[in-house]
Amino acid sequence: MIIPKVVLVGAGSVVFTQGLLADLFTFPELRTAHIALHDIDPERLATAEAATRYIAGQRGAAPKVTAHADRRAALADADFVINLVQIGMVEATRTDFEVPARYGLRQTIGDTLGIGGIFRALRTFPFLKALGEDIAAVCPGAWLLNYTNPMAMNVQYLTEATGLRRVVGLCHSVHWTVHDLCRLVNAPVDEVNFLAGGVNHQAWVLRFEHDGEDLYRRLDALIADDPELRRRVRVDIYRRLGFYPTETSEHSSEYLPWYLRHRSEIERLRLPVGAYLDIVDENLVAYEKTRDALAAGTGMPVEGTMEYAPQIIHSITTGTPRTVYGNVPNRGLIENLPAHGIVEVPCLVDGSGVQPTRIGPLPPQLAALNRAYLSMNDLVVRAALEDEPRHIRHAAMVDPATSAALRVEQIWELCDDMVRAHADRLEPALRATLGT
């Protein structure tokens, strides 16, 4: 068994880094791994290094830990690269909410679709291209495990712009959705047979069974008896489409035209408009507490998060087979979705790598929604690959929530304002303002 080198790019996302490392060091075979940390913020990099050494001590691990301001130095000879980068950090995220809000456009999380998702992708793509070039140059056999949102757009761009093939996008939404459903219907999660598939943040629980029992029938009874349960967007989606979505109500409301446009629906379904700004503030406070605790030598909680990246690293390194959910190019895995789109499907992982599972066609009502999602993604990727600023506007025009809320002239004006606000983070050809 090799001793792997694992590189965390954007390791200054310390709260997430902590959970990943706590999971990684749970595996005895990985406790001597080389953990290489990279971040462009010196303070956050130093905090990530201190956190890594502390977590290793708490887990009884003895890894080799290195910290690098230079990305290529960190990546040299890597076996696994975990991308955690958020380009623009808090400032850019606030822009993603504040500028659209002036047009009356409501967002809750703003990191996957919609105006927020479009511009988060466009400012991330230049970094992804540079990261891909670095990997090709210094660790061409490495697996790139991406956590950065917007997941599907980023993975599509990586595979089309860089030529990398060992790219998997990872998200915990399927895992925690199934756990939450099992808790709701009082079923033991380790014994439940389930299958999910679709696109990231809009996949669907296609099968949900225990000992031959369809657990959806239990869920139906609970929903019928509990009016408060019916005040959740994902429950509303399930009641109308017949399959439970794998992302929270806050996220799910943004990918459809039916909810955020209407004040009455926001109140009925208790939707927290602008919720992600509170999450950003909470993450900043959590980072500062971790930084200060490490500096004072008082320690911090070390809790695992059941993330997929450590499981993948363990399976490939040791040959231990397991199934995870990954975001990968479709290429026939879901036959009624576009072949070039990025889909979320179960993947077998072992010593041979990550092998996606074909799940066949989705029910037509689910595929219809996923196709709209992937069409918008493709326009954003095409904007970057073809240096075509009009495609930014085209993507916003076909985005379900944006097109439901704004007139087409407003959409173009909003895109111009967002381009101005983010101009220094966009590729030069995409900085043009086009008017209405």
Q: Which of 172, 179, 262, 340 is the catalytic position? A: 172
Q: Is residue 17 part of a domain?
A: yes
Q: How many CB atoms lie within 10 A of CB 69?
A: 12
Q: Determine the average pLDDT of the residues in 273-280.
A: 83
The confidence score (pLDDT) of residue 89 equals: 87
Taking all residues of the chain, what is their mean pLDDT, rounded to a whole number? 94
Residue 306 confidence (pLDDT)? 85
Q: What is the pLDDT of residue 99?
A: 96
SS3 of 248, please?
coil
Examine residue 126 and state whether it is found in any structural domain, yes or no: yes
Angle at 402 between CA 146 and CA 261, to 5 degrees: 115
Residue 350, SS3 per DSSP: strand
Q: What is the pLDDT of residue 367?
A: 98
pLDDT band at 422 (very low <50, low <70, confident <90, very high): very high
In a domain, 77, yes or no: yes
CATH number at residue 47: 3.40.50.720
| Within-domain flag for 184 | no
Asked, for residue 309, whether it belongs to a domain, the answer is no
**pLDDT band of 16, cuts 50, 70, 90:** confident
Give residue 28's pLDDT: 96
Strands 193-199 and 202-210 turn out to be antiparallel
Q: What is the pLDDT of residues 229-255, one digit of tens each?
A: 999 999 999 999 999 999 999 899 999
DSSP code of residue 362: P
For residue 299, pLDDT beyond 80: no
Residue-wise pLDDT for 279-298, tens only, equals 888 888 888 888 888 888 88
Is the pLDDT at 57 greater than 90? The verdict is yes
Could you read off the pLDDT of 164-211 as tens digits, one per residue? 999 999 999 999 999 999 999 999 999 999 999 999 999 999 999 999
pLDDT at 333 exceeding the cut of 80 = yes
CA 51 to chain centre: 23
d(CA 308, CA 377): 24
Overall average pLDDT of the 72-84 stretch? 97
Per-residue confidence (pLDDT) for residue 361, from 0 to 100: 98
The pLDDT tens digits of the residues spanning 101-143 come to: 999 999 999 999 999 999 999 999 999 999 999 999 999 999 9
Predicted confidence band of residue 406 (pLDDT cuts 50, 70, 90)? very high
Report the sign of the C-alpha dihedral through residues 30, 323, 304, 79, in that order. positive
What is the percentage of the chain residues whose pLDDT exceeds 90? 88
Overall average pLDDT of the 82-108 stretch: 94
172 is catalytic: yes
What is the span of the domain harbouring residue 13?
5-88+111-170
How many distinct structural domains can be found in the chain?
A: 1
Portion of the chain with pLDDT greater than 70, in percent: 100
Supply 114's token pair. 């919609």
pLDDT of residue 381: 98
The SS3 of residue 181 is: helix
In a domain, residue 71? The reply is yes
Least confident stretch, 2-6, 281-285, 325-329: 281-285
- Would you say residue 281 lies in a domain? no
> What is the rounded average pLDDT of the residues 414-434?
95
**Per-residue pLDDT, 178:** 97
Give the pLDDT of residue 414. 98
> Could you tell me which of 191, 195, 295 has the C-alpha nearest to residue 244?
195
Residue with tokens 């809000």: 101
What burial letters (b/e) apply to 131-158, b meaning 16+ CB within 10 Å?
bbebbeebbeebbbbbbbbbbbbbbbbb
At residue 293, the pLDDT reads: 84
Domain membership of residue 272 (yes or no) is no
pLDDT, tens digit (0-9, with 9 covering 90-100), for 347-358: 999 999 999 999
Say what the pLDDT of residue 18 is: 87
